[in-house]
Amino acid sequence: MAADAIAPLLTTEGWELLASLGPYRQSDALKLNEALRRAGHPADLVAAVLTQSRLRAKAEAKFGEFAARMLFTPAGLEQATRLSVAALHAQRFTTAGLGSVADLGCGIGADSLAMAGLDLDVLAVDMDETTAACATVNLMPFPHARVRCARAEDVDLAGIDGVWLDPARRTTSTSGTTRLFDPEAFSPPLSFAERLADRGLAVGVKMGPGIPHESVPATAEAQWVSVNGDVVEAGLYFNALKRPGVRRAALVLGPHGPAELTSAEAYDPGAQDPPVGPIAGYLYEPDGAVIRAGLVADLARSLGGHLIDGHIAYICAGQPVDTPFARAYRVLDVRPFNVKALKSWVKAQRIGVLDIKKRGMAVTPEELRRQLLTGSGKGPNKATLVLTRVGDERVAVVVEPHGPIDGPRTL
């Protein structure tokens, strides 16, 4: 988003007009555009306030009621940390007893907002002028927060206790944006964070959840975070922000609060030695954060269960155990994966609604569902199939969801 798309809002008329709008409704956008133009407002101002109204409505999922007083860019909103997760980042710094933080690559200021809300002195830095302008507006309620438009590498950190980094993980060209996967291609690169940590600074870095374990520095704690089943980040923490006895962790944030599974050891795929056994009893689908953190075998042991295959992230146990770290299903039947036989089964069972999950198989659930339900008569019953493999054998497991998970707990 260009700076001139934000500029009309940074005037008394623009800010008051934006504040006067009610809840955004896509169906009313055209009529509202026409009404504002008839009232004499300039076209660029009308476009700006309607864009912000739409972005604020979208931002409620991340920022709740705070979104109604913030400014956004589309890219800034997409990449912004959820406020609930940003609060956890901020708590790392306050728990470590730090008083000042430089938020390098602050974006629209989500993490800075949470840090300033905990009375930390915040220097928020972003190299994009428009994004920095949004961060300035968003941090205006906090006199101990200031914003600077600069490159992260150029900031003087004298007097700063800790650093939070959210590197840019996309590159933009004439053909659009492309996601980057090499941490050294990020801006700034992961090695920049390591150099800051080598100076003794308390450093935290927000990384994408797909960071490979071999890219995690040996001096860092890595914590994968999921929100309602969606893995949103991997946080790396150095020095004072790193917890003793924790090398990797899966933090699950759900409707019942936070729950965390941790390990004191670095991930070594050759040392996992997971228990393996048959598909029977109850099948557990681990949360994505548990999988990313390499803690599936640990979870299986804690449940008194086993993996159905040493390379597949499904767990079975004889008894149901309520856990925030996995979704549980009762195993009803195990069938060979055969489309013709499954289609006959769907018809015989009068199944009209079919949920298909898969792991370890090159199958498109949507396409298979269409195949199995076509000509089945659309019966009144529901069913859930889990498609997976055990060794070289492909199987279809008929399951039914077990009850809701219990309250928060830490293993």
- Which of 255, 310, 248, 316 minimizes the C-alpha distance to 282? 316
pLDDT band at 289 (very low <50, low <70, confident <90, very high): very high
Alpha helices in 239-293 (DSSP H): 288-292
pLDDT for the residue numbered 410: 34
Distance from C-alpha of 249 to C-alpha of 51, rounded to nearest angstrom: 39
Environment class of residue 348 by beta-carbon count within 10 Å: exposed (0-12), middle (13-18) or buried (19+)?
Answer: exposed
pLDDT for the residue numbered 237: 98
**DSSP three-state, residue 240:** helix
Please determine, for residue 176, whether its predicted confidence score (pLDDT) is greater than 70.
no
Which pLDDT tens digit goes with each residue over 315-363?
Answer: 999 999 999 999 999 999 999 999 999 999 999 999 999 999 999 999 9
pLDDT band at 409 (very low <50, low <70, confident <90, very high): very low
Pairing label, strands 326-336, 393-401: antiparallel
pLDDT band at 406 (very low <50, low <70, confident <90, very high): very low
Residues 6+ positions from 195 with CB-CB distance below 8 Å? none
Residues 6+ positions from 279 with CB-CB distance below 8 Å? 308, 316, 331, 334, 390, 395, 397
Residue 274, Ramachandran bin (φ over 0: left; ψ between -120 and 50: alpha; else beta): beta
Which pLDDT tens digit goes with each residue over 109-134?
Answer: 999 999 999 999 999 999 999 999 99
pLDDT band at 405 (very low <50, low <70, confident <90, very high): very low
Average the pLDDT over 40-68 and give the result. 93
Length of the chain: 411
| Residue 173 β-bridge partners | 176
Is the overall model pTM greater than 0.85, yes or no? Answer: yes
- Which of 81, 152, 151 minimizes the C-alpha distance to 115? 81
Per residue, what are the HEC states of 100-136?
EEEEECCCCCHHHHHHHHCCCEEEEEECCHHHHHHHH
pLDDT band at 408 (very low <50, low <70, confident <90, very high): very low
pLDDT for the residue numbered 379: 87
Share of the chain above pLDDT 90, in %: 82
Distance from C-alpha of 103 to C-alpha of 146, rounded to nearest angstrom: 10
201 in Cβ contact with 156 (< 8 Å): no
pLDDT band at 314 (very low <50, low <70, confident <90, very high): very high
121 in Cβ contact with 101 (< 8 Å): yes
- The residue ranking higher by pLDDT, 230 or 26, is 230
Share of the chain above pLDDT 70, in %: 95
Please determine, for residue 255, whether its predicted confidence score (pLDDT) is greater than 50.
yes
CATH class of 77-244: alpha beta
